Chains A and B, each alone.
Chain A
């Protein structure tokens, strides 16, 4: 009973200060998009440029059907960006709140929530663009499957909150975690079907095994299935994603319990 009571109290303390972290998210967004419409344009430019390059390459080498491949890459880049930003910006999440932590006692997870929300909003913009793109290229065939995105987005949000909390806390103790995480992400990037179609590797032993066991691949697929193919993702994908999130969540909670009050001494 006690842990549940404690968790509920913790969440209510975060909720009580919602205007605070929402204001900081707004500040982050203002900084990122520079208070202009072109700002959002800039943030679309990078994934668009990447998609264009990949389309050119894959069209030349593998003669891919671009009507299918272009939205595939774009969704891949969008979700990967979400995962990578959760890790990399997550590294700074707690330190960014340092000045507040020093002056006023408040739940620690509030500061990683701020990072998650600004990363998630950026992702939502890209996702909206992806859906528009899929409508242009493939018509409205995915419309009936789109409501399934609601639970999927909730899962992604929890995933990101756990990740920003974990890396935020670790980075307080090891300031080079940021660089290390960057290298790790680079490796995992090639083991996740971001830009290459999964089917390309159906017959090649080792890589298939890694692909099957890489949980991030399932998270990418969770978004792709409804948006690109108009399918509700298979239950196994959901379960694997849930399992991953549960493990990350437990780690994040354990780190919070150990550091909630103590972290002030390490800031």
Chain B
């Protein structure tokens, strides 16, 4: 049974002014004044209550910094909730930041294997997968050289092919990714649509108010970490658009 439930979930980032402070500064600062590296709290998700059933396709809209990506990372198990209850049942596949997790000193082939191994696959399973990924990426001979020597377009092809070779139950997508040159972009787009069809539960964060809502069964509008509105995609998108274009938006 594929299912997601969040009740009263909060997520607070404790951001420091300086990313990290050296130990010696901590010693000196810790003894003499506490304010060397003040902690600022960012309340990224506030009191989220959400219930998603199998078969639903959820679109998440909201302006930058509204908490869309944070919500996806929370569902993916990368961020733990600060408080509240989170339950995710089903195998989660993510298309968040596809570029992370690439070892630049290793070859394309090796990188394909790492990602699969990290997800707990065995070499036997990887062997079949690897061929499909290689084919989709169209990188051919280039897979034998270290990723360090790839052009950015080639890197995108590799990352995208690795990231999308999945059999999703729960699929989490951050934006529709535009990948590589024109030909590949089209192919990539098709691949994502296929994955969406395959998945049994989808959560997709987007800025696109035209095509994505058509794919969704429900839309969630996030603002400052709170759910402002949810329900029928068309209604929510209209309300969101109106809010964004009207002067209501405060500079907060």
Q: Interface of A with B (CB < 8 Å)? A: 16-17, 19-20, 23-24, 27, 31, 99-100, 102-106, 172-177, 180, 261-262, 264-266
Question: Closest Cβ of chain B: how far from A24's Cβ, in Å?
Answer: 7
Residues of B within 8 A of A27 (CB): 103, 105-106, 110
Q: Interface of B with A (CB < 8 Å)? A: 13-14, 20-24, 26, 76-80, 94, 96-97, 100-103, 105-106, 110, 113-114, 117-123, 126
Q: In whole angstroms, what is the CA distance A6 to B103 when docked?
A: 31
Chain B residue at smallest Cβ distance from A104:
B118
Instruction: Decide if B20 touches A261 in the complex (CB within 8 Å).
Output: no
Q: In whole angstroms, what is the CA distance A118 to B75 when docked?
A: 34
The one of A31, A99, A175 in contact with B101, judged by C-beta atoms closer than 8 angstroms, is A99
Question: Which of A104, A177, A261 has the most chain B CB within a 10 Å cutoff?
Answer: A104
The one of A99, A104, A177 in contact with B119, judged by C-beta atoms closer than 8 angstroms, is A104
Residues of B within 8 A of A262 (CB): 80
Instruction: Decide if B78 touches A23 in the complex (CB within 8 Å).
Output: no
The one of A102, A105, A174, A180 in contact with B100, judged by C-beta atoms closer than 8 angstroms, is A102
Instruction: Decide if B78 touches A19 in the complex (CB within 8 Å).
Output: no
The one of A31, A106, A180, A264 in contact with B118, judged by C-beta atoms closer than 8 angstroms, is A106
Residues of A within 8 A of B121 (CB): 19
Instruction: Decide if A100 touches B78 in the complex (CB within 8 Å).
Output: no
Residues of B within 8 A of A31 (CB): 105
Residues of B within 8 A of A265 (CB): 13-14, 79
Instruction: Decide if A175 touches B22 in the complex (CB within 8 Å).
Output: yes
Q: In whole angstroms, what is the CA distance A103 to B121 when docked?
A: 16
6 smallest beta-carbon distances between A and B, as pairs: A20-B117, A174-B23, A176-B22, A105-B77, A261-B80, A19-B117
Instruction: Decide if A103 touches B114 in the complex (CB within 8 Å).
Output: no
Residues of B within 8 A of A105 (CB): 76-78
Instruction: Decide if A16 touches B120 in the complex (CB within 8 Å).
Output: yes
Instruction: Decide if B118 touches A174 in the complex (CB within 8 Å).
Output: no
Once A and B bind, how many residue pairs between them come within 8 Å at the CB atom? Answer: 73
Whether A264 touches B78, Cβ cut-off 8 Å, given contacts A99-B100, A99-B101, A103-B101, is: yes
Q: In whole angstroms, what is the CA distance A17 to B119 when docked?
A: 7
Q: Please list 26 pairs of residues, one from A and one from B, whose beta carbons are closer than 8 Å in the complex, sorted by A's number.
A: A17-B117, A19-B113, A19-B121, A23-B110, A23-B114, A24-B114, A99-B101, A99-B102, A100-B100, A100-B101, A102-B97, A103-B101, A104-B118, A105-B78, A106-B118, A172-B20, A173-B20, A174-B22, A174-B23, A175-B20, A177-B23, A180-B24, A261-B80, A264-B78, A264-B79, A264-B80
Main secondary structure of the interface of A (DSSP, over half): helix
Instruction: Decide if A103 touches B97 in the complex (CB within 8 Å).
Output: yes
Residues of B within 8 A of A17 (CB): 117-118, 120
Q: In whole angstroms, what is the CA distance A20 to B126 when docked?
A: 11
Residues of B within 8 A of A100 (CB): 100-101, 118
Q: In whole angstroms, what is the CA distance A103 to B120 when docked?
A: 14
Residues of B within 8 A of A174 (CB): 20-23, 26
Residues of B within 8 A of A173 (CB): 20
Q: In whole angstroms, what is the CA distance A99 to B94 when docked?
A: 15
Q: In whole angstroms, what is the CA distance A173 to B26 when docked?
A: 10
Chain A residue at smallest Cβ distance from B26:
A174
Question: Closest Cβ of chain B: how far from A227's Cβ, in Å?
Answer: 35
The one of B20, B77, B119 in contact with A266, judged by C-beta atoms closer than 8 angstroms, is B20
Residues of A within 8 A of B24 (CB): 176, 180
Instruction: Decide if A20 touches B13 in the complex (CB within 8 Å).
Output: no
Instruction: Decide if B22 touches A102 in the complex (CB within 8 Å).
Output: no
Q: In whole angstroms, what is the CA distance A137 to B120 when docked?
A: 47
Known: A19-B121, A174-B23, A265-B79. 16 other contacts (CB 8 A): A20-B114, A23-B113, A23-B117, A24-B114, A27-B105, A99-B100, A102-B78, A103-B78, A103-B96, A103-B97, A103-B101, A173-B20, A174-B21, A176-B23, A177-B23, A261-B80
Whether A180 touches B23, Cβ cut-off 8 Å, given contacts A99-B100, A104-B78, A264-B78, is: yes
Question: Closest Cβ of chain A: how far from B161's Cβ, in Å?
Answer: 16
Whether A104 touches B22, Cβ cut-off 8 Å, given contacts A20-B117, A27-B110, A264-B78, is: no
Question: Which of B78, B96, B126 has the most chain A CB within a 10 Å cutoff?
Answer: B78
Q: In whole angstroms, what is the CA distance A27 to B113 when docked?
A: 12
Q: In whole angstroms, what is the CA distance A11 to B113 when docked?
A: 22
Residues of B within 8 A of A24 (CB): 103, 114
Residues of B within 8 A of A99 (CB): 100-102
